[in-house]
Structure 1
């Protein structure tokens, strides 16, 4: 049976590939649970410095949750809670993944698909890709966690516009409002994204992973360093990366981080 989610590795980069082409890469409940398991495994993989998430081909990044499951798995308040808890747990694991993450959006990212992309640190999209959250089309109130994430990216007015109208916008408009970071043609997006990824992984993982934690703490509302955050920062000064960075600077060469 074809795997609907699987991982490819290339050096320090791991890629989660969504492979459900016949359904525009929509996610079943089982796929959300599998995503959480994959993320747990990659989090502890010392070889992985950066994570990409993409669809298997040009047809879609993801069209979101598979609505055909809703009559069985999401058709009462209690069933909806069980479903929502499982899906949000996976999406939160992607958002809290301790290493840099990039979503490569080709053609389509709708509903839960855009929710997944918004949980990544960066979003690359192909020219003309369609983006939107269509919960209001089926009478669902979009969850607070993902709504907050959307508001942080594009502001409350634009978030309301997308959610109230359920309209689809282009990648170009998404870039204008801060939803998308970079837009490239289908022919060049992979090359551009990999070059961007290489620029990140050539730097210190100790620094980059720590920076991600600091920025997420700011987004979460922290205004002062907690004891844990202070210790995280101080620990970087005894890391091998710090020693190598200082030595490379003094020797006027590029650092070779472990």
Structure 2
């Protein structure tokens, strides 16, 4: 299992790598559970400022859940509930990961693979990559949480079209409807993704992690600041980042956030 999912580090950037290339990085139930454990570790790692998710090579980001397991792990209502609860728990951890996240999609992101990508803050894709949610091909009703996430990204009508038809669209088509943020050729995407990541990590993590929580509160339906959000904002004024930011401004230099 360690080899199927592993973490690479480059300074304060962690990259979670899907390494089941012979199966186009399809996720077994054990892999979904392991994903949750890795995310817990990275969340608590103070050295990590940003997380990138990607496939080990150009084969795929992920082709989704491993359907060959379904007859054993997902072939009755109770087994389906146990399976869904376990997988959605890890996907929800990714969605609510407290630090900025980027999905780096090469070639393919289908089903649960696209579900993982949609749980990230940003989606980079290689030119011509194929994207889709193919639940209708095997008679599965796509879950509400991930459907809502898709609606938030591309709207109701496009969500219905994508799910009803189970068709695959290109990264270019995905960008037109808001599913993909940036598209680059295969030979450029890693560099461009890391350039973008460095733009983020050079800024205050106190600010960016807090901004992520504020935006999430808005997505969750809050129209006014809760006590938790109010405290989060006020606490930032006593942070080391705030002191460094003010001092750098006064000294007319770039801040060095630690």
Per the TM superposition, whether the score is higher than 0.5 is: yes
Match of 1:76 in 2: 76
> Per-residue displacement from partner, 1:218-257 (whole Å, max 9, x unpaired)?
0010000000100000000000000000000000000000
Match of 1:204 in 2: 204
Mapping for residues 61-72 of structure 1, pairs under 5 Å: 61-72=61-72
Match of 1:218 in 2: 218
Q: When the two structures are superposed, what TM-score results if normalisation uses the length of structure 2? A: 0.99
- Call closer, same or farther: CA 1:2–1:94 in 2, change over 3 Å: closer
State the Cα distance separating 1:132 from its structure 2 match. 0.1
CA distance in 1 between partners of 2:254 and 2:42 (Å) = 28
> Runs of 5+ in structure 2 lacking a partner?
none
Residue 57 of structure 1: SS of its match in structure 2?
coil
> Per-residue displacement from partner, 1:43-94 (whole Å, max 9, x unpaired)?
0000000000000000000000000000000000000000000000000000
CA distance in 2 between partners of 1:256 and 1:22 (Å) = 43
Residue 186 of structure 2: SS of its match in structure 1?
coil
Residue 210 of structure 2: SS of its match in structure 1?
helix
Match of 2:99 in 1: 99
Residue 256 of structure 1: SS of its match in structure 2?
coil
Match of 2:23 in 1: 23
Mapping for residues 214-253 of structure 1, pairs under 5 Å: 214-253=214-253
State the Cα distance separating 1:37 from its structure 2 match. 0.1
CA distance in 1 between partners of 2:200 and 2:82 (Å) = 37
CA distance in 1 between partners of 2:194 and 2:2 (Å) = 26
> Runs of 5+ in structure 1 lacking a partner?
none
> Per-residue displacement from partner, 1:108-128 (whole Å, max 9, x unpaired)?
000000000000000000000
CA distance in 2 between partners of 1:18 and 1:185 (Å) = 20
CA distance in 2 between partners of 1:84 and 1:24 (Å) = 21
Match of 2:149 in 1: 149
CA distance in 2 between partners of 1:167 and 1:107 (Å) = 16
> Per-residue displacement from partner, 1:6-59 (whole Å, max 9, x unpaired)?
001110000000000110000000000000000000000000000000000000
Match of 1:58 in 2: 58
State the Cα distance separating 1:198 from its structure 2 match. 0.2
Q: When the two structures are superposed, what TM-score results if normalisation uses the length of structure 1? A: 0.99
State the Cα distance separating 1:153 from its structure 2 match. 0.2
- Call closer, same or farther: CA 1:135–1:246 in 2, change over 3 Å: same
Residue 104 of structure 1: SS of its match in structure 2?
strand
CA distance in 2 between partners of 1:21 and 1:10 (Å) = 23
State the Cα distance separating 1:107 from its structure 2 match. 0.2
State the Cα distance separating 1:2 from its structure 2 match. 6.8
Match of 2:169 in 1: 169
Q: In angstroms, what is the RMSD of aligned CA positions?
A: 0.7
CA distance in 2 between partners of 1:102 and 1:21 (Å) = 20
Residue 60 of structure 1: SS of its match in structure 2?
coil
Tell me the matched-pair count: 258
Match of 2:42 in 1: 42
Residue 125 of structure 1: SS of its match in structure 2?
strand
